[in-house]
């Protein structure tokens, strides 16, 4: 169930250049049903900035009523969020959307998780849940440079982890696709989150595989009422069918959304 919760910040730290990890405590955590869901955060008590910020959930701990979000302080809203400190209270709406289907991969099978930049965080909880049930996870994480690489060790603790950086300062030089071409093709499913061109490349490379992609789109309400975040689907030739990223997604089976 979607609730609006006043969550308390239990920790906030910069884990890479302008990349922040924030841990939040509140009853909303008990409502999270799948990795890949997101929350809508009000970053200010005033109406400047006006809209909430959609941020994916990177990790959850229902026993402690705690969740982790990882975000890039880029615009005004996320910069304001990065200035908040431990003990501060944040107005959070969520959990929102439908996450990655963990049940699509069974114990003993292999899943490839491909993330780009700030699309990496939701893959962490996904990998934790998949590995916990006996799935072998291979992670391919793409970043601009070593300065913005995060959670390399955390992912490595869960399974085989490959890093790609555009400038070659960490791991393979280039994009996640450069690593993908070197990975054995004997896996069952892929899960991906990142910028649209990356999702496009991943989908094309693994067209013969079962996969799930998480999309991003500018949002208004975050709950499906305003129709701001629509994407066209591949359902018919007229390109007139659509889905709402916030409430139908953000995760869709590969091939459903027109990229």
Partner 1 sequence: MNRLAMTLPGLELKNPIMPASGCFGFGKEYGNLYDLSQLGAIMIKATTEETRYGNPTPRVAETSSGMLNAIGLQNPGLQGVLNNELPWLEKFDVPIIANVAGSETADYVEVAKQISKAPNVQALELNISCPNVKCGGILFGTDPEIAKELTAAVKAVSAVPVYVKLSPNVTDVKAMALAVEAGGADGITMINTLVGMRLDEKTGKPVIANKTGGLSGPAIKPVAIRMVYEVSQVVTIPIIGMGGVTCVQDVVDFMSAGASAVAVGTANFVDPFVCPTIIEQLPARLDELGIDHISELVGRSHRV
Chain contacts with partner 1 (rule: CB under 8 A) = 1-2, 4, 42, 47-52, 91, 93, 217-231, 240, 242, 247
Please state, in angstroms and rounded to a whole number, the distance separating the CA atoms of residues 72 and 155.
19
Which one, 2 or 183, has the nearer CB to partner 1?
A: 2
Contact 213, 205 (CB under 8 A): no
Four-CA torsion 22, 139, 104, 256, nearest 10 degrees: 90
Minimum CB–partner distance for residue 40 and partner 1 (Å): 9
Please state, in angstroms and rounded to a whole number, the distance separating the CA atoms of residues 182 and 100.
25
Which one, 6 or 15, has the nearer CB to partner 1?
A: 6
Please state, in angstroms and rounded to a whole number, the distance separating the CA atoms of residues 149 and 118.
10
Which one, 113 or 221, has the nearer CB to partner 1?
A: 221
Minimum CB–partner distance for residue 91 and partner 1 (Å): 8
Minimum CB–partner distance for residue 32 and partner 1 (Å): 17
Dihedral over Cα of 146, 180, 196, 43: its sign = negative
Contact 149, 120 (CB under 8 A): no
Which one, 171 or 249, has the nearer CB to partner 1?
A: 249
Which one, 52 or 72, has the nearer CB to partner 1?
A: 52
Which one, 9 or 228, has the nearer CB to partner 1?
A: 228
Minimum CB–partner distance for residue 240 and partner 1 (Å): 5
Minimum CB–partner distance for residue 101 and partner 1 (Å): 22
HSE at residue 111, side-chain half, CA atoms within 13 A, is 32
Minimum CB–partner distance for residue 109 and partner 1 (Å): 35
Rounded to the nearest 5°, which phi and psi values hold at 138? -110, 125
Q: What are the distances in angstroms from CA 37 to CA 6, 107, 162, 169, 221?
A: 18, 23, 24, 31, 15
Please name every residue paired with 25 in a beta bridge, in sequence order, or none if there are none: 8, 66
Of 176, 216, 202, which Cα lies nearest the Cα of 74? 216
Minimum CB–partner distance for residue 44 and partner 1 (Å): 10
Which one, 50 or 184, has the nearer CB to partner 1?
A: 50
């Amino acid at each position: 169930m979607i609730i609006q919760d006043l969550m308390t910040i239990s920790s906030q730290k910069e884990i890479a250049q302008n990349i922040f990890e924030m841990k939040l405590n509140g009853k909303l955590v008990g409502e999270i049903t799948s990795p890949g869901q997101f929350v809508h955060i009000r970053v200010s008590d005033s109406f400047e900035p006006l809209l909430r910020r959609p941020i994916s959930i990177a990790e959850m701990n229902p026993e402690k009523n705690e969740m982790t979000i990882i975000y890039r302080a880029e615009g005004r809203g996320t910069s304001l969020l990065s200035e908040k400190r431990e003990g501060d209270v944040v107005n959070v709406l969520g959990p929102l959307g439908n996450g990655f289907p963990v049940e699509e991969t069974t114990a003993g099978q292999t899943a490839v998780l491909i993330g780009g930049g700030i699309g990496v965080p939701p893959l962490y909880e996904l990998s934790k849940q998949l590995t916990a049930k006996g799935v072998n996870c291979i992670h391919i994480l793409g970043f601009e440079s070593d300065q913005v690489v995060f959670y390399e060790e955390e992912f490595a603790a869960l399974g085989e982890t490959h890093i790609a950086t555009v400038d070659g300062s960490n791991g393979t030089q280039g994009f996640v696709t450069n690593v993908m071409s070197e990975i054995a093709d004997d896996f069952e499913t892929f899960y991906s989150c990142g910028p649209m061109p990356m999702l496009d490349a991943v989908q094309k490379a693994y067209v013969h595989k079962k996969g799930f992609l998480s999309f991003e789109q500018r949002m208004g309400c975050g709950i499906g009422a305003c129709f701001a975040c629509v994407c066209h689907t591949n359902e018919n030739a007229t390109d007139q069918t659509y889905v709402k990223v916030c409430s139908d997604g953000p995760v869709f089976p590969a091939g459903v959304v027109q990229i």
